[in-house]
Structure 1
Amino acid sequence: MLETEVSADLLRWYDVHARSLPWRVPPGGNAADPYRVWLSEVMLQQTTVAAVIPYFERFTTRWPDVQALAAAPEEEVMAAWAGLGYYSRARRLVECARVVAQRGGFPSDEVGLRALPGLGAYTAAAVAAIAFGQRAVVVDANVERVVARLFAIDAPLPAGRAEIREATDRITPALRSGDFAQAMMDLGASICSVRAPQCLICPLSSHCAGKGAAEAYPVKPPKKAKAQRKGIAYWIERDGHVWLVRREAKGMLGGMRALPDNGWSARTDGMGAPPVSAQWLEAGSVSHIFTHVALELDVWAAKVSHAPQGDGEWWPLDRLDEAGLPTLYARAAALALKGE
């Protein structure tokens, strides 16, 4: 396999088949806006393109540049992020925006980008290549899959990632590094998919050592069973308002508005008492899968005459969609409202 032929064939394919995405510039165009590239890459971590697009468009309408995002109150950004999951990303987003605004812009190289809060090796490489035209080795899950198949790399993950990165480095061109990275992502998201890869129409088919057995790569270890947790969420209603709390900054769903609960966490089931004495009715339960934990959350509902002890706020029911509840608690709220 000639590495230069791989990149040339892939770029020719990308020039015709590149996805049109709101954070991209056309193939061969000028470098993209680093703010939009960075924002999209943070949003796309563990999240699909289809889910990210409407959030990206709302964010860039509301906060069109890094200075605007840096000036935004963290709670507003967290509320706008609600539903995207992995909420620690939103907190790091604000922290990073403030650092970038203070220094007057994004660094243009990987080393400088890695020094920013929340930017790991992948995001720094992606921004350096796509926004600044730097040659950088960009390896996300799609690239990892394409390269593992292309070179038939059979070392199981995660140990095999070093070999995959080395192979990606060999085929990354000096010119159009950003287009090459995005072409690899597009190929992995479409033709070289997890299941039923379309090898017959793949632009890299003639180079691919894994062709014919593509689904065997990359080799993954058996999945570990997720820990099972149980908890209770409390729907506390009074005069057309519901009592909401702010979760602790650290931990799962940190810093988000939520219904009060009985203290469940990734490590333990909830054991706490209800936050107020009331006649509770069971409204049902919702299940939610986190990265390492599966949670079953029972929903208890009550109408009260006074506020619970502790910090919280009465939120109007007719504006509940503006509270920015994370998906878990939005589903619990919907269950309580349906029970009424």
Structure 2
Amino acid sequence: MSADSFAQRLLGWFDLHGRHDLPWQHPRTPYRVWLSEIMLQQTQVATVIPYFLRFVDRFPTLPDLAAATTDHVMAHWAGLGYYARARNLHAAAKTCVANHDGDLPRDFDALHALPGIGRSTAGAILSQAWNDRFPILDGNVKRVLTRFHGIAGWPGLPAVEKQLWALAEDHLLNVPDGRLADYTQAQMDFGATLCTRAKPACGICPVQDDCVARREGLTGALPTSKPSKVLPEREAVALWLENADGEILLQRRPETGIWASLWTLPQADTDAGLRDWFAREMKGAYDNVEELPVVVHTFSHYRLHLQPLRLRKVALRAVVRDNDDLRWVARGELAALGLPAPIRKLLGN
């Protein structure tokens, strides 16, 4: 076997062993393909499927998504993580309504210009939605290509990534017309189920005969790992406040930063900072707070140790409106708001 037959061998494997019944494949519309590609960024298929089904049930078309409120979008995304994806999805939908007649553009540059759509995602959408000839280079494909071609160096480095893009484009030349969608899915399925990060199934791999990593015993070493760094540790304090009716006080996060636009408990970096906020905003005795077990949550760039403090039968000093960044919420209404997963778990919802 030669490298030139890589694509044909992968398609042959896909026909027998690939995933053909994913919900975004039936029907395979540009909107559903786009939504699935955004959800699948850094998230496994099994996790995405129930979120995808709920999302398209609530927002069945792109204009439906564009017309939705931020709260509704974030509520249907809550728990999936990497919330910038939801904000970009919502912003891109609005742009499509404003500039592209409510549809995703079938043009690489226009698609790439939308929020949250990088080069690989644009290629995946164009190839799967319209069978257009564009390469992809997600994490699975990077792993497959570095092993097959024996490419050393962390794939996130510009020089290595440039080399991988060139290889992805070369392989694409051997894909028959009309099978671009299948080839794109085949690459993702192959990396996710066979050429996995740990314990790849090299013995049943359709391209093993010409795989450099297989031949030279480098399967475990490729792709080269990202240079490690120790995650910094941060601490914060959160207030779980309840009024006389048992409603919980939630605060909307700013539009940028961690948990942007989500509703969460009032939070500060220090107990003193939270005490000052409480003195300004609330009626009650702060010293009566109940200290709950610390919540540890790991973000991509730091680990947060969040100390929740609970206080019941308090009141706000001023009346707030529903559009303010503070809101009393009944327990039965929590599911309708976008809450970060650790806060939702803390509140038992």
Task: Give the TM-score of the pair, scaled to structure 2.
Answer: 0.88
Matched, 1:13 2:18: no
Residue identity matched to 2:8: A
Residue identity matched to 1:298: Q
Say which SS state the counterpart of residue 234 (structure 1) adopts: strand
Q: Distance in 1 between matches of 2:156 and 2:74?
A: 32
Say which SS state the counterpart of residue 23 (structure 1) adopts: helix
Say which SS state the counterpart of residue 214 (structure 1) adopts: coil
Matched, 1:289 2:292: no
Unmatched tracts of structure 1, length 5 or more: 26-30
CA RMSD of aligned residues (A): 1.9
Residue identity matched to 2:231: K
Deviation sequence 1:86-120 (CA, Å, 0-9, x none): 11111111111111123222111322211222211
Q: 138, 148, 151: which is aligned to 2:149?
A: 151
Task: Give the TM-score of the pair, scaled to structure 1.
Answer: 0.90
Q: Distance in 2 between matches of 1:290 and 1:155?
A: 25
Identity of aligned residues (%): 37
**What is the CA-CA distance between 1:181 and the residue it aligns to?**
1.5
Residue 260 to residue 152, structure 1, CA distance change in 2 (3 Å): same
Matched, 1:40 2:36: yes
Matched, 1:188 2:191: yes
Q: Which moved further from structure 2: 2-11 or 79-88?
A: 2-11
**What is the CA-CA distance between 1:2 and the residue it aligns to?**
3.2
Matched, 1:323 2:337: yes
Contact 1:79 1:325 in 2 (8 A): yes
**What is the CA-CA distance between 1:261 and the residue it aligns to?**
0.7
The residue that corresponds to 1:51 in the other structure is 47
Q: Distance in 1 between matches of 2:46 and 2:4?
A: 32
Say which SS state the counterpart of residue 298 (structure 1) adopts: strand
The equivalences for 1:149-228 within 5 A come to 149-159=147-157, 160-172=160-172, 173=175, 175=177, 176-211=179-214, 212-228=217-233
Deviation sequence 1:74-94 (CA, Å, 0-9, x none): 111011111011111111111
Q: Distance in 1 between matches of 2:42 and 2:119?
A: 15
Residue 83 to residue 207, structure 1, CA distance change in 2 (3 Å): same
Q: 67, 80, 83: which is aligned to 1:84?
A: 80
The equivalences for 1:221-300 within 5 A come to 221-238=226-243, 239-262=245-268, 264=269, 272-274=273-275, 275=278, 276=282, 277-278=285-286, 279-300=288-309
Residue 196 to residue 271, structure 1, CA distance change in 2 (3 Å): farther
Unmatched tracts of structure 2, length 5 or more: none
Say which SS state the counterpart of residue 210 (structure 1) adopts: helix
Contact 2:241 2:314 in 1 (8 A): no
**What is the CA-CA distance between 1:320 and the residue it aligns to?**
2.8
The residue that corresponds to 1:64 in the other structure is 60
Q: Which moved further from structure 2: 311-320 or 47-56?
A: 311-320
Say which SS state the counterpart of residue 230 (structure 1) adopts: strand
**What is the CA-CA distance between 1:252 and the residue it aligns to?**
0.6
Residue identity matched to 1:182: Q
Deviation sequence 1:152-205 (CA, Å, 0-9, x none): 111333222222221111111263222112101101111100001110101111
Contact 1:232 1:297 in 2 (8 A): yes
Deviation sequence 1:184-240 (CA, Å, 0-9, x none): 110111110000111010111122111143121111233111111000111001112
**What is the CA-CA distance between 1:58 and the residue it aligns to?**
0.5
Say which SS state the counterpart of residue 215 (structure 1) adopts: coil
Residue 171 to residue 129, structure 1, CA distance change in 2 (3 Å): same
The residue that corresponds to 1:108 in the other structure is 106
Larger relative contact order (C-alpha < 8 A, sep ≥ 6)? 2
Deviation sequence 1:15-41 (CA, Å, 0-9, x none): 11121211125xxxxx93110110011
Q: Distance in 2 between matches of 1:210 and 1:91?
A: 39
Task: Write out the 4+ residue segments of structure 1 that deviate beyond 3 Å after TM superposition.
Answer: 1-4, 308-311
Residue 58 to residue 124, structure 1, CA distance change in 2 (3 Å): same
Matched pairs, number: 325
**What is the CA-CA distance between 1:273 and the residue it aligns to?**
2.3
